[in-house]
Structure 1
């Protein structure tokens, strides 16, 4: 198994629910019958070459995020996150019980690949900015590290979008090569040291209300496994999906508190008029992209139909509860 993320990165390579934890779980659950050797980014192949390596059979597995492969399959992004899309609860409901996983595998099968969810950060922060963001116009001309569908939205606002691996974000932000950067959330961002390069930290989670880690497997290798080992792989991936999210939820609050109190970080919510404009652009972009390709349209329509159904339930269940707490 190769990985898009660097050695020692909590969640992404090591720790509870991580890819290395997944390998340990599979080893233990199979009684040692199935052993997976893990290589972080750069240890065997470069960070973002896992898709090609698994497809070619150079390696059997890769851990990353499906939106890294947008240049190959636009629809792959829907299996990582969608701006104004589904939260952790919703995306797992869609993947496991709403037909999402079947669509994901249908998309990959012609390429000799199969995928499963293996992690989730939960909601992510909008990102770090060297200067305050007070209006939509402040995005024009900004150079920002931002992957996935959100990058297309930012482009519509005049942002110069950059796709950088996690390990390259801090030096680029510190040197002013970029003006802003999105990574994950307080715990992960603090570990990268982003608070030393920028002080304005915004949220709403509009761009990534959840973020799925992809377990990518060579289809021929997968089909060579006996059924019991396939079930072990699926069960270990599902366990890591839940465990990684709970780990993230347990650590982000303390990390945010530390950033604000000890690093002079100014944490704030994006102004409502900015988020409203982002939402308007998001659905224009998604509809336009879906119209270009039948494959993308199929995934888009299925995702949005489930999103609307889940939102109706969340509006009557979760929303009143959170409003009561506030």
Structure 2
């Protein structure tokens, strides 16, 4: 697959609306509703882009054309980082993306994608659905005229691509790294310079040396970005995004105007895609990690305890500053932290306890 074929329209500038894909019959019958969906992801990009396209198509199919869906990838209607405002203003009806991109509007948005030392896929799914997370998300989104649902997850991310080895926290000083969200704030505390770039601009900045390092997702997605052409060292585990929750954010007035049936269909389609994308990521990451190592000579590196402890100390400072932002930020963090403690203890006993013993007995290693 040619990387440029799915990245060429993924920059910040708006592209031609003619590039949209119409996913349902035109709204010619009484009772049909148009749904323009914009995305933060490049068209046809494995995992992120294809998941968004699949969800858009699913909504059109399940409503049998009552909702006439038009999907625009990043750069086809608006730039990736303009998706939020396009939907909040009512110019489009929905976006598919990562809500931590909007932390400049309110830091609580970061908790509904991922934060450093945060929740894994299973944990954040439990928090959103049964731990009060959705209610807090509704409160935050409602302040901007939005209604959001979980609509995809890529699981624990890799720590990133680096052009030098990271042996101590001092090795991060002066490093220009593409890393969004509160993870970027943690890196800044350690002397790095975080840069926020949409997916379509990362490769060119890494190759040119405009950034020294980048995180993206995991082996499957990263393979097609060809980061291995510019950075040799691939670090794990990523402290910044342990369970990257993706979202469909809708214009609330538009969503509230739908029938209860169509509202339920959209929510069900989002839930379905949330599970599908996680399963697809898990099915592909191991295969593509082998390709990166065996076919492209990538060196897999583990962040040592000294570096990880430094991440933890910096994260504690970032969280305290985030809590001080507002009452909603504090309540969101406290609810999130409570879930991390309660659900995390069970996951340590159950999932982690089992997989450690299983892998030891069967000899499964990295």
> Which TM class, normalised by the smaller chain length?
over 0.9
Query: Out of 214, 220, 231, which is 1:187 matched to?
Result: 220
Mapped to 2, the partners of 1:107 and 1:47 lie a distance apart of 21
Q: Which residue of 2 aligns with 1:81?
A: 114
Higher relative contact order, chain-length normalized (CA < 8 Å, sep 6+): 1
- Segments of structure 2 that go 5 or more residues without pairing to the other structure are 1-36, 361-366
Q: Which residue of 1 aligns with 2:312?
A: 279
Mapped to 2, the partners of 1:296 and 1:125 lie a distance apart of 27
Query: Out of 39, 44, 56, which is 1:3 matched to?
Result: 39
Contact 2:160 2:238 in 1 (8 A): no
Query: Out of 79, 90, 98, which is 1:46 matched to?
Result: 79
| Alpha-carbon offset, residue 205 of structure 1 | 2.5
Structure 1 residue 265 corresponds to structure 2 residue 298: yes
Contact 1:122 1:245 in 2 (8 A): yes
Stretches of 4+ moved more than 6 A in 1? none
Mapped to 1, the partners of 2:83 and 2:254 lie a distance apart of 15
Greater gyration radius = 2
Contact 1:23 1:35 in 2 (8 A): no
Structure 1 residue 147 corresponds to structure 2 residue 180: yes
Structure 1 residue 115 corresponds to structure 2 residue 151: no
| Alpha-carbon offset, residue 19 of structure 1 | 1.6
Residue by residue over 1:163-217, the C-alpha shift from the partner in whole angstroms, topping out at 9 and shown as x without a partner, is 0111111111111111100000111111011011101000012111010111010
Q: Which residue of 2 aligns with 1:96?
A: 129
| Alpha-carbon offset, residue 302 of structure 1 | 0.5
Per the normalisation by structure 1, the TM-score is 0.97
Per the normalisation by structure 2, the TM-score is 0.87
Q: Which residue of 1 aligns with 2:68?
A: 35
Mapped to 2, the partners of 1:218 and 1:319 lie a distance apart of 39
| Alpha-carbon offset, residue 116 of structure 1 | 0.5
SS at match of 2:247: strand
Contact 2:148 2:247 in 1 (8 A): yes
Residue by residue over 1:69-113, the C-alpha shift from the partner in whole angstroms, topping out at 9 and shown as x without a partner, is 011011000000011111000000001111101110111112211
| Alpha-carbon offset, residue 263 of structure 1 | 0.6
- Segments of structure 1 that go 5 or more residues without pairing to the other structure are none
Aligned residues: 323
